[in-house]
């Protein structure tokens, strides 16, 4: 009887320990996810160091984990690591000058034949890539091409994407050349509850 009681107590103890460990692990993962979100920043200066293929693939996978209306998945992702293309786009795109220092970039594009609101789904893809870059200790920044026709034409010129594919943004990616601090953008005044109230 004593042996049975001890076995039962041991089993309960081990079960509780396992549950607590599982809960701590879940809590840690939740904290990690939130920390990554709050730590994300726009990085515009990079070290002359290539991004590993494994990390590039993780960025792309993270992007494609985005939600998609009607599961259309209109996204197309173009990885650029040719120096001449990055340099040419750095000169031509007004807000992507940092491409001259970036070892690579990801162009987030949408297939207009798959969705009329491709830019919405692709925005979620771009955000996922930016968060994944933060989690991988990389630096990245969103440089918009859509809805500026002249910028979209520049991307098309240097990448030869077909007419039905439109670029949303170019995301330079690399290892940060200096420390960056995230901005605290929390503003409770921007929050409404249930019924909209006019602000004074």
Q: Are residues 103 and 20 in the same domain?
A: no
Q: Are residues 31 and 61 in the same domain?
A: no
The reported pLDDT for the residue numbered 198 is: 87
Task: Provide the residue range defining the domain that includes 16.
Answer: 1-39
Q: State the pTM of this model.
A: 0.85
Q: Is residue 102 part of a domain?
A: yes
The reported pLDDT for the residue numbered 161 is: 98
Q: Along the chain (200 residues), what's the average pLDDT of each consecutive run of 10 residues?
A: 49 51 62 93 97 98 98 98 98 98 98 98 98 98 98 98 98 96 94 89
The reported pLDDT for the residue numbered 127 is: 98
Q: Is residue 72 part of a domain?
A: yes
Tokens 């940092």 -> residue: 98
Distances (CA, A) of 61 to 71, 110, 133, 155, 182: 16, 16, 12, 22, 24
CATH code, domain with 137? 3.40.109.10
Count the domains in the chain: 2
The reported pLDDT for the residue numbered 7 is: 53
Q: Are residues 30 and 85 in the same domain?
A: no
The reported pLDDT for the residue numbered 18 is: 52
Check: CB of residue 155 under 8 Å from CB of residue 107: yes
Q: Is residue 35 part of a domain?
A: yes
The reported pLDDT for the residue numbered 31 is: 82
Q: Are residues 118 and 26 in the same domain?
A: no
Q: Are residues 7 and 86 in the same domain?
A: no
């Amino acid at each position: 009887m004593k042996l049975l009681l001890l076995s039962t107590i041991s089993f309960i103890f081990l079960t509780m320990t396992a549950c607590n460990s599982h809960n701590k692990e879940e809590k840690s993962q939740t904290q990690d996810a939130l920390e990554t979100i709050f730590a994300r920043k726009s990085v515009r200066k990079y070290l002359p160091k290539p991004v590993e293929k494994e990390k590039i693939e993780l960025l792309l996978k993270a992007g494609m984990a985005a939600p998609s209306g009607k599961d259309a998945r209109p996204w197309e992702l173009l990885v650029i690591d040719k120096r001449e293309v990055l340099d040419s786009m750095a000169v031509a795109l007004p807000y992507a000058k940092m491409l001259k220092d970036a070892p690579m970039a990801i162009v987030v594009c949408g297939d207009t034949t798959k969705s009329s609101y491709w830019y919405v789904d692709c925005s979620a893809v771009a955000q996922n890539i930016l968060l994944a870059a933060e989690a991988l200790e990389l630096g990245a920044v969103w440089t918009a091409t859509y809805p500026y026709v002249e910028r979209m034409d520049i991307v098309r010129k240097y990448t030869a994407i077909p007419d039905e594919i439109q670029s949303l943004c170019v995301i330079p990616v690399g290892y940060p050349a200096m420390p960056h601090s995230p901005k605290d953008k929390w503003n409770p005044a921007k929050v409404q509850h249930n019924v909209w109230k006019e602000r004074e």
